[in-house]
Structure 1
């Protein structure tokens, strides 16, 4: 029953002094209120008769807002008066347009749309967890509510990486066009793939003269070159315990994902082939054979649900997978942390085997906190100890960098 039943009983209790027998009057009023509650509950629409579906956005970038609508259908011949609570995981940042405390009405054989605004706080899949419908009677004295009735329509909003580094994309693409030699001011670029033959002009490098073609044309022809196309890039993300360390206001893994997306966007514009591998003690995500049109969407959706695992990364597993999957020589960019313990015992033993076939680049995130601690003037004894610890961490990074080189 609702608060209205208690209020009705309290209002009747005020008349007890006028009754010849107050006790008998209390029993009669209680019986009358209970009868009204039973009738009101019987007239309420059964929650199990309702049907619920969802419609709306399936994906949103971190920091954006998505809208998912709950469609509640009343197939019965009674008017539904109900309070509806559509619950999501806390990190989904759900804000319903209709508060759960408000009573909504759905006419017989009618439907109601209840939108919910979602502003997620974390990357990954944010599911809806529970739908609760409290069906009230016509008098508002009683209600019906049953767990799991109607069933919660399954829905998960995929929160994609924010990709803040895309603001650097125009500058990087401009530099890429210079390298490719497509800007008029720079002329033809130097590369490793043969492009065309043209007539020799004063100032050309004589080493570019094609003597056989010149003999056939009875003219001096030179070869022109362009940057190599269809190169192979493999982005490897370390999702082990070191990726859980926070850099600024986000985990190190999120920073690595942002850098990998920027590198992928540049490689796609250069018509290169990009593969992705994310692993710790197991393979967490793979994207292979991604062509330019669908490259970024596939990578973004593959990286969205990745979360750091509190385990030591198995670099032997990563090296074995790369050697098995990548037969041709590729540029392997490994996004990890320059920690002496993790790399000294895991990566360094397998690095020669991997570098024998591929060009390996280790990309590590720079922690701005360390730079701040080493440059700030200590004001307390604790600041001096913190600065010493920061200098020690930077020295360890330098030793690891030297060992990798």
Structure 2
């Protein structure tokens, strides 16, 4: 029964003082209300005759808004008066155009269109949880509501990474064009792909002189080189325990994904092949660089559902997978954390195997909280202990960077909001120097 049945009974109770036998009055009024409720319930449209379907967006970027439409079709011979509650997981940010308390009327054979706007607050897959439909009688005194009727139409909205670092792409592409020599202002990178011959000028490396061409032209000619194209790049995302730490306003994994997307977009424009591997104690996602035209879309879709796992990353597994998949010398960029506990016992023992075959870059976003704790003046005794802990953590990071550098590893240690452009600059610098 609905609240209207209670109100009807309360109104009838106001007439009890005029009844000669109040108990008889209560019984008669209660019976009348129950009879009306039974009749109203019987006249409500049966829920087995109601079907539900969905259509709308399948994916949306984090921070964007998607529209999912629920369609209720009434195949019964009675008008459906329904209250509908379409439940999603809280992080989906669902807001229906029709409030659950509002009554939606659907004529026999008709269809009600109920759109919902979703503004997700987290990356990943956001499924519809349950659909509840309450069929009201014509008087609004009683309703039918059966669990599982109509069946909840399945729907999952994939929330893609925000990719805020896209704004840096035009500037990085401009630098890439300079390196590749497609602009008038050409960079003189020490590449290994022959470009053209030109006359020798003071300051040119004598090792670049082409003696045969010089003899034919009776002039001194030097070879010009361009940075290599069709190189290989492997982005490795550490999805272990350290990737769950919040750095700034988001988990470290989200910062790493954003940097990997910018690096992938830049390398794909440079003509390089990009592969991606995400792993902790198991491989969570892989993307190969085949089909460069849709590489970025495939990579965005693959990493959208990645979530940190509260386990220590097995870097032996990671290095083994990279060595097994990449036979050709490649640039391997490992997005992880500069923590002595994670890298000292995990990555450093297996790093020589990886560095012997590939050029390795370790990219990590440092926590601004550590810097603020270490530089702030202690206002109370507890602050001094926090500052000491911060200094110790920063000192451990310095030792980890030094240990990685001894193996010939390039270390990128930048704030979370600068990690993506700094990693892209490192890639461009290595490419200009012909070190890929």
Same fold, TM-score > 0.5, yes or no: yes
**Partner residue, 1:115:** 115
**Partner residue, 1:289:** 289
Higher mean displacement: 126-135 or 6-15: 6-15
Query: 3-state DSSP class of the match of 2:281?
Result: coil
Please give the TM-score of this superposition, normalised by the length of structure 2: 0.88
Distance (Å, rounded) in 1 between the aligned partners of 2:39 and 2:257: 60
How many equivalent residue pairs? Answer: 404
Distance (Å, rounded) in 2 between the aligned partners of 1:248 and 1:208: 48
Higher mean displacement: 79-88 or 29-38: 29-38
- Following TM superposition, by how much is the alpha carbon of 1:33 offset from its aligned partner in structure 2, in angstroms? 1.7
**Partner residue, 1:268:** 268
Distance (Å, rounded) in 1 between the aligned partners of 2:362 and 2:294: 26
- Following TM superposition, by how much is the alpha carbon of 1:339 offset from its aligned partner in structure 2, in angstroms? 1.0
Distance (Å, rounded) in 1 between the aligned partners of 2:164 and 2:201: 47
Task: Evaluate the alpha carbon distance shift between residue 327 and residue 388 of structure 1 in structure 2; reply closer, same or farther with a 3 A threshold.
Answer: same
- Following TM superposition, by how much is the alpha carbon of 1:221 offset from its aligned partner in structure 2, in angstroms? 6.1
Q: Deviations over 1:294-333 (max 9, x none)?
A: 1111111111111110111111111111111111111101
**Partner residue, 2:58:** 58
**Partner residue, 1:374:** 374
**Partner residue, 1:26:** 26
2:187 counterpart of 1:193: no
Distance (Å, rounded) in 2 between the aligned partners of 1:243 and 1:199: 50
**Partner residue, 2:393:** 393
- Following TM superposition, by how much is the alpha carbon of 1:219 offset from its aligned partner in structure 2, in angstroms? 8.2
Distance (Å, rounded) in 1 between the aligned partners of 2:291 and 2:267: 11
**Partner residue, 1:357:** 357
Query: 3-state DSSP class of the match of 1:186?
Result: coil
Task: Evaluate the alpha carbon distance shift between residue 10 and residue 154 of structure 1 in structure 2; reply closer, same or farther with a 3 A threshold.
Answer: same
**Partner residue, 1:248:** 248
- Following TM superposition, by how much is the alpha carbon of 1:58 offset from its aligned partner in structure 2, in angstroms? 1.1
Contact 2:82–2:103, Cα closer than 8 Å, also in 1: yes
- Following TM superposition, by how much is the alpha carbon of 1:237 offset from its aligned partner in structure 2, in angstroms? 0.7
Please give the TM-score of this superposition, normalised by the length of structure 1: 0.94
Query: 3-state DSSP class of the match of 1:312?
Result: coil
Distance (Å, rounded) in 1 between the aligned partners of 2:296 and 2:21: 82
Q: Deviations over 1:374-400 (max 9, x none)?
A: 222222222222222111111001111
Query: 3-state DSSP class of the match of 2:140?
Result: coil
Distance (Å, rounded) in 2 between the aligned partners of 1:17 and 1:187: 100
**Partner residue, 1:177:** 177
Q: Deviations over 1:186-229 (max 9, x none)?
A: 37755211234x56476676644544456778887654322211
Distance (Å, rounded) in 2 between the aligned partners of 1:151 and 1:348: 53
Distance (Å, rounded) in 2 between the aligned partners of 1:340 and 1:201: 51
Q: Deviations over 1:39-70 (max 9, x none)?
A: 11111111221111111111111111111111
Q: Deviations over 1:5-45 (max 9, x none)?
A: 12222222333333444333333322222221111111111
Distance (Å, rounded) in 2 between the aligned partners of 1:290 and 1:383: 53
Distance (Å, rounded) in 2 between the aligned partners of 1:70 and 1:370: 48
Query: 3-state DSSP class of the match of 1:348?
Result: coil
**Partner residue, 1:139:** 139
- Following TM superposition, by how much is the alpha carbon of 1:270 offset from its aligned partner in structure 2, in angstroms? 0.6
Query: 3-state DSSP class of the match of 1:349?
Result: coil
Contact 1:44–1:80, Cα closer than 8 Å, also in 2: yes
2:326 counterpart of 1:326: yes
Contact 1:284–1:306, Cα closer than 8 Å, also in 2: yes
Query: 3-state DSSP class of the match of 1:114?
Result: strand
Q: Deviations over 1:255-296 (max 9, x none)?
A: 111111111111111111000000000000000134331111
- Unpaired stretches in structure 2, ≥5 consecutive residues: 406-436
Contact 1:92–1:119, Cα closer than 8 Å, also in 2: yes
Query: 3-state DSSP class of the match of 1:146?
Result: coil
2:230 counterpart of 1:230: yes
Higher mean displacement: 157-166 or 142-151: 157-166
Distance (Å, rounded) in 2 between the aligned partners of 1:309 and 1:188: 44
Contact 1:181–1:190, Cα closer than 8 Å, also in 2: no
Across the aligned residues of Structure 1 and Structure 2, the Cα RMSD in angstroms comes to 2.0
Query: 3-state DSSP class of the match of 2:67?
Result: strand
